[in-house]
Amino acid sequence: MKALSINLRIAHRLVVVVGGGRVAARRASTFLSAGARVRMIAPKFSAEAHALADPQLTRVDRNYENGDLADAFLVLAATNDAKVNAAICADAHEAQILCSNAADPDAGNFTLPAAAHHGNVTIAVDTAGASPELSKKILKQLGSALDRHAGAAAETLAIMRAHTFAIAETNQRRRLRREFANLPLDMLASLSADEARSYVETALSGAQIDSHSSSTVTCASRGSRLALTQTSSVTSALENAGIKSEILTIATHADLTPNQPLSAMNAENVFVKEIEAALMDGRADYAVHSCKDLPSTLDPALQLVAISAREDPRDAFCSERFASFYDLPSNARVGTSSVRRRAQLMCLRADLEYVDCRGNVDTRLRKLRDGQFDALVLATAGMARLGATSSTVVAFEPEEIVPAVGQGALAIEMRRGESDLHAMIRQTINDRRAELEIVCERAALATLGGGCKAPIGIHAEHRDAGLIVHGIVCSHDGSQTVTARASAVVETPVQSAALGERLASQLLISGAAQLLRSASGIGLPLAGRVIVLPRTQMRESRIAPALERCGARILQVHSAEEALQVFGEQTVDMVVFASSAAVDTVGEMFPTWRVDATRPAIATMGEHSAEAVAARGVAADVIAGEPSVESLVDAVQRYFRHEVTVR
């Protein structure tokens, strides 16, 4: 029999269930979970029916009578008497009330599918009553294939849809909703309500939506004001050359975790990965990046087609109270999110407190004005592009603080093989002088094998008739540095890359290899260990860097969703709980750990957090002798040396 599948909103509606057996109890439970008021009528109720405890449920201990369906929205006939069930359905049909016959699906006008709910996402399977068992089997198969972020992602999309209707023009809404629905589910699930609405506003402000001609191409960009300002400078230049672009704004991993230190992120290429995905799946034709955000080695399917003219590549000291970096008093708070800047600044002045400071340029400068920091160190180029400033802005010379690879330049990335568009973009945007500098710097970084979490600075610049490049590799605390300098006359990118490789070789021979091994943990007591650190606060952890200095790879998680993702993607050696509150962050993992002999080791800062772990049925393997970072790190090292319980 043909049927139409619909979802009914039955919250606070009356559903009459006639019958008191197991089937009636299961159906009543389903109705209650949807928010309905349920009245069960039967002369006798099963244990399952008596077990239902809900203020919305009433039981009537008698046989069905005429008038029992008054005010009902739905009726379920589930007695063990076929004639009674038929009479109930007949009464319901006469009263124009939807009715289901549990024993004879064709006798009613609706059936209940097997269903599973994941937030706002519902999977339902119906066999028209032919085989409830088959429905459940299929439902289980579908449920196992469903992305675990789907429910939370749907809730986020509901917020984004409502905000889109509130602020977007009618002709813009469909495109925006389609763009949002194509975002990764884990990304959507991680957004708060405010972040979701902000994403809509950013996408709306960055989208150039009009009656596109066939020559319109799509440019992928991050959604910050700086990113859109930079991207607009490129799209404007291309439009003047006859290439019309629309901007597809994309939130990257780093954008969606604005309060997490970059050094603590569990992913690579956090500013570009999602943008590159849009290139590879065809949503975008080209992308505009801050060149410093790119990995030293690109995906083989992608290529850099142009480098823009370079803005000032230097880092800048910014303050509202002090005239220079060297005028700061001891213990002054200096904000920076870059491990490169921090290490070099510590080399210059180890007496200051360096604090992680994330967010866009405007946000960081506002924090400076509000007194959260005594000074910031920012990229001069970003401030210049936004026209942003502070009372004091003093640039560090490249010899003082060596800039990041590519700092100050924009990079245009495309899929390989897009020859016509490639040629037009390169002709319009590429700056030959900047390209030679950037190729040199990126070749040096690739040869060193460093990434965004390694304290490496490389800077090339044209002087006289040649190209001069100098580099620095530091320990994380700035106590050890290796520097080198090289120069050559270069006329081609191949020659420029060779110069960068020569500089990297000089650095490696001079000791950079040892520093980079130390930065990655090779040869250290916790080398190769993956440790998860559940967090309840967004401020910078003191435990994470202490364990990292011992060679461990630290993955900080702030929610159950992040924890589940981390444990699903890799083998974790240990979980470290700094407080009893942190135990709740990964609470969903404890039922598995109670029966899993291969679970990660568990370490706690002290007895209170150990008791919180024990309350969930698992004994801590490591308990610090005293509640201090030093004691905890020592206990963790002793555990891995001997793999015995440390208390």
CA-based angle 609:612:613, to the nearest 5? 90
* The pair of three-digit structure tokens given for residue 353, joined into one six-digit string: 């407190």
Token digits for 423? 């040629």
Q: Nearest Cα to 594, choosing from 568, 575, 615, 618?
A: 618
CA distance 342 to 355: 9
Tell me the catalytic residues.
293
Question: How many CB atoms within 10 Å of residue 432?
Answer: 10
Tokens linked to 539: 């401020």
Residue 193, number of CB atoms within 10 A of its CB: 13
Tokens for 424, please give them.
């037009």
- Minimal CA–CA distance to 550: which of 456, 639, 446? 639
- DSSP SS3 for 598: coil
Burial of 630 (0-12, 13-18, 19+ CB in 10 A): exposed
353: left (phi over 0), alpha (psi -120 to 50) or beta: beta
Show Cβ contacts of residue 213 under 8 Å, excluding neighbours closer than 6 positions: 244
- Whole-number Cα distances in Å, 312 to 234, 345, 384, 461, 631: 18, 19, 8, 11, 46
Asked if 86 contacts 107 with a C-beta cutoff of 8 angstroms, the reply is: yes
Dist CA 410 CA 111 (whole Å): 59
Distance CA 462, CA 437 (A): 8
Cα end-to-end span (Å), the chain? 67
Candidates 252, 248, 202; CA nearest to 225 is 202
Let me know: does 354 contact 377? Beta carbons within 8 Å.
no
Say which amino acid occupies 129. Answer: G
Rounded Cα distance, 440 and 597, in Å: 51
In whole angstroms, give the CA distance from residue 46 to residue 28.
13
Cα–Cα distance measured from residue 304 to residue 64, given in angstroms and rounded to the nearest whole number:
76
DSSP assigned state of 615: T
Please, are residues 554 and 264 in contact by the beta-carbon 8 Å criterion? Answer: yes
